Amino acid sequence: MIPSARRAAPLPLLPAALLLLAGCGGGGALDLRFRPAPGTRFRSEMVVDQRILAPVEGTEQAMDQTLGFELTTEVLAPPPGGGHRARLTFDRTRMRMRNPAGEVAFDSAHPAEPIPAQFRGLAFMAGRSLECSFAADGTVDRVSGMDALFDGMMEEMAVPAGERREVLAAGIKRQFGDGAMREMVGSLVTGFAGRPVRVGESWEWRRRLQAILPMTLDWTSTLLSREGGRARVALRGRVSPFEEAPPVDLGLARMRSSFTGTVEGEVEVEEATGFPASLRTVQEIAGTLTLEMDGVPPAVNPMRVSSTTTVKRLP
């Protein structure tokens, strides 16, 4: 059943906020790994628009969510042994949720007082930073700063000890824990070829996501063109269930997911910096979320989810 707008909690969104993509080019081939020089800074905006359709008493109802971040990425000195480090700062956070019961919204640039309870954790993120470490091949080694972020979000939400706090804590850890963040960043960074590629070349890769919403993504990426110092890469993916994944811990319950669908889009990369100048993807999935509790029959919830993610550079 879709919760009321006053009490609704955001469902997992596509992890496009951490789009540390990309590469530097030269000659006829382009290396798409993330490797700008230390001291380089980028500002960008990421917006995810999502529509969730689920039956309520036999009638399909919609819940719309918009999540937005303005981000500063600063490339740091490389770690010992090689690789890369980057600090990601959430300069601005905003969210809007709407369902048949009403609409609520939050924007850290124009915060209302008091801040609605369901947005206090999001409000705490504004101005906070995470640090990402990458191996020389572009894979994600570590995302640090998660413990402080989690503790601060829980404190801001001021939920008394008890079952509700357990559920809330499990949800935040699921979406913002170290494993989830490494998975989010890694699903994008490692999707680019580990070798230089030429215009017209395609490469395939697979990612299995587990921490947030278990699913398997099989991708085909194609370098479409290079012009004016920018490279265009097409993204086409197929979503299928991750059957072997253990259930996600929700505190008082466990969640299993089974979704199929597609995701398509395009990213434009600045060759001189290896950072995305723009990105747009559209994902369409359908399937079920199954909630399991001890002593209670599983609750199977069918739903369809449409998500559009856009990223653009800011001055």
How far apart CA 190 and CA 176 sit, in angstroms, is 20
pLDDT > 70? residue 266: yes
What does the DSSP 8-state code read for residue 197? B
Residue carrying the six token digits 């042994």? 81
Token readout for 74 is 């600063």
How far apart CA 245 and CA 256 sit, in angstroms, is 8
Token readout for 118 is 């369901």
How far apart CA 127 and CA 47 sit, in angstroms, is 18
Check residues 65 and 2 and name the one with the higher pLDDT: 65
Amino acid type, 4: S
Domain 16-314, classified CATH 3.30.70, yes or no: no
pLDDT > 90? residue 84: no
pLDDT > 90? residue 114: no
Instruction: List beta partners, residue 197.
Output: 30
**Over the stretch 14-70, which tens digit does the pLDDT of each residue have?**
343 333 333 333 458 888 877 778 999 999 999 999 999 999 888 899 999 999 999
Residue 285: half-sphere exposure toward Cβ, Cα within 13 Å: 27
Distance set, CA 55 to CA 1, 2, 300 (Å): 7, 8, 11
Contact status, residue 79 vs residue 27, Cβ threshold 8 Å: no
Token readout for 233 is 């890469």
Distance set, CA 78 to CA 86, 229, 270 (Å): 9, 25, 21
- In 10 A of CB 276, how many CB atoms? 24
Token readout for 7 is 């009490």
pLDDT given for residue 25 in this prediction: 37
How far apart CA 225 and CA 254 sit, in angstroms, is 45
pLDDT given for residue 239 in this prediction: 97
pLDDT > 90? residue 163: no
Instruction: List beta partners, residue 114.
Output: none
Contact status, residue 247 vs residue 254, Cβ threshold 8 Å: yes
pLDDT given for residue 96 in this prediction: 96
Distance set, CA 29 to CA 193, 229, 270, 273 (Å): 11, 13, 14, 16
Cα radius of gyration rounded to whole Å, the chain: 20
Q: From its phi and psi, is residue 81 left (phi > 0), alpha (psi between -120 and 50) or beta? A: left
- CB burial of residue 215 (10 Å; 0-12, 13-18, 19+): buried
Percent residues over pLDDT 70 in the chain: 81
